[in-house]
Amino acid sequence: MTPGQTPSQTVGPFFAYGLTAEQYGYPFNSLFPPRIAEPRAAGEHIRITGRLFDGDGKTIPDAMVEIAHVDADGNPVTSREAAVASGFRGFGRCGTGTSADQSFEFHTIKPGVAAPGSAPHVNVIVTMRGLLVHAFTRLYFEDEAAANAADPVLDSVPVERRATLIAKRIALPEGVEYRLDIQMQGPDETVFFDL
C-alpha cells in the first residue's frame, strides 16, 4: 500500500518555459503544442478558442488550458505512432499569456462520437495560479443540438447551467471557429466535474 494520493498544488504563474515553451518563445521544445491536428489530418478542421474569467470578470492572463478529444471517427489516439501517421495527436496545450486578449487557441479537427449516445465533445483541463487543484470540464458544440440533447453527461447538468459547456460556432473567412469562455466563478460559473 501507499501513503495515499500525492496532493495537488498550483501550477503557479511561471509554468510557461516548462510546459508551453515554444508558444512563449523559450528555448525548450514543446511535447504538446496548441496545434493538435496537422493540415493533412482527416476531418473538419476547426479552431477552438476562448478566454478565462475570474470572479471579478477579469480575463486571466496566466492560465494553461489542455484539451483532449477523439478523432473525426470517434476513436482515441492510442499511440505516438498512430498520431504521427494520422497527423492528429488528440491532445494539446495552450497558455493564455501570448494573445492580445488572453485567449487560448487550438487548431484541431471536430471530434466524432466517442461512444454510442454521447455527443461530440472535448475534454478540458484548466489550471492556473490560484487554482490548487486543476479543474475538469467539457466543451460541446452548438451545432450538435440533437446529439447534445441525448448526451448523458449534459443530461446530468442542471438545465440552466448547460450553456456554460456549449461552444458557439463562428464561421470566419479563414475557417470555422468554436468559442467557449470559461468562467471560474460568478452567476455563469462554468460547470466543472469531479472526474
Q: Which of residues 129-158 bind another protein (CB under 8 A)?
A: 129-136, 152-153, 156-157
**Which residue from 33, 47, 142, 192 is in contact with another protein, where contact means CB under 8 A?**
192
Task: Enter the DSSP assignment of 153.
Answer: H
**Stretch 72-91: interaction string toward another protein, x if CB under 8 A:** --xxxxxxx-xx-----xxx
Give the chain's radius of gyration (CA, Å): 17
> Which residue in the block uniquely carries the three cell numbers 472535448?
122
Burial 119-147 (b: 16+ CB within 10 A, else e): bbbbbbbbbbeebeebbebbbbbeebeeb
Query: Can residue 4 be called a binding residue for another protein (CB under 8 A)?
Result: yes
Query: Can residue 21 be called a binding residue for another protein (CB under 8 A)?
Result: yes
Nearer to another protein, 115 or 171 (CB): 115
Site for another protein in 105-134 (CB under 8 A): 114-115, 118, 123, 125, 127-134
Nearer to another protein, 114 or 147 (CB): 114
What is the C-alpha to C-alpha distance for residues 175 and 94, in angstroms, rounded to an integer?
20
Largest CA distance in the chain: 57
* Residues contacting another protein: total by CB under 8 A: 77
